A = this chain, B = another copy of it.
């Protein structure tokens, strides 16, 4: 593989080589490698617009890698991936998109991922976004994640956008049946003139369903971030959302969390805090020999870890 491809794959999927288990690697709009396994079947849609992925009931401790990389400036694509997870599964899905844009045209990936999670199944879903390349063209990623969770299923969703994405609009919708739980952790850093908007809505439909949304954001330089979360409780359920943001330089941040209790039995909590790095924290690290910039860097790293 060439160097750019290798770096992108490493950043978005932690891959140094062809992954174990099932995988599909999409590069510049085409699959450049695909492998189904006995338990995880990857079926490309006929028109090339995405994948249907079937995970057999009872599949345990298996992983699926589906990284997307774009190194061609000016490429714009919309990809639909549907994940049909059977009952009693326990799987890890590593998605992610890396864009290298060395040209002057915008490169854009819109990934629409729909999860149908069967009863008693556990899914860990990791999605990393990364951009590089010194062209003037923007690197744009708009992921949309739709999750339908059956009885007693569990999903852990971890999304990370650390660097190089000029513009992103993230949308996540989830609907939970009885006993289902979802934990979403989002980490976002923007710099330069980047903009990032993130919208969550989680509907707690089933008894004893629960959601925990954790967002950690750092906005540097002239960047802009908007965080909107919506938790709707329709029955005996619990929802918690927290949004902590560090604001630096001339950045702007908005946080709009929304709680809707349509039932007496819904217990919903939200917390949000936006502020700069505490002066004492910086001073402390500077007494240990770091420059102010290094101290800030360390604090931001720790905050986003």
Contact = CB atoms under 8 A, between A and B. Distances in A.
Contact of A250 (B245, B252, B254, B264): B264
Interface stretch (A51-59, A83-91, A181-189, A273-281): A273-281
Interface string A248-287: 1111111111111111111111111111100000000000
A247 interface: yes
Interface string A112-148: 0000000000000000000000000000000000000
Nearest to A267: B275
Given A270-B270, A272-B270, A273-B269, A254 B264 contact: no
A256 B254 contact: no
A255 to B, nearest CB: 5
A241 to B, nearest CB: 9
Nearest to A233: B274
A272 B257 contact: yes
Contact of A261 (B233, B270, B274): B274
A272 B259 contact: yes
A220 to B, nearest CB: 10
* Tier of interface size on chain A: 20 to 34
A262 to B, nearest CB: 5
Contacts of A270: 255, 257, 270-273
Nearest to A230: B256
A290 B256 CA distance: 41
B267 A261 contact: no
Contacts of A254: 258-261
Contacts of A273: 267-270
A252 B247 contact: no
Contact of A247 (B245, B251, B264, B276): B264
Nearest to A251: B264
A276 B259 CA distance: 14
A251 B273 CA distance: 29
Given A271-B271, A274-B268, A275-B267, A252 B259 contact: no
B274 A266 contact: yes
Interface of A: 233, 245, 247-276
Q: Which 4 A-B pairs have the closest CB atoms?
A: A267-B275, A270-B272, A261-B274, A256-B258
Given A254-B261, A255-B270, A268-B272, 7 more contacts: A252-B262, A256-B258, A257-B257, A261-B275, A267-B276, A269-B271, A271-B271
17 contacts: A248-B264, A251-B264, A252-B262, A253-B259, A253-B260, A255-B260, A257-B257, A267-B274, A267-B275, A267-B276, A269-B273, A269-B274, A269-B275, A270-B270, A270-B271, A270-B272, A271-B272
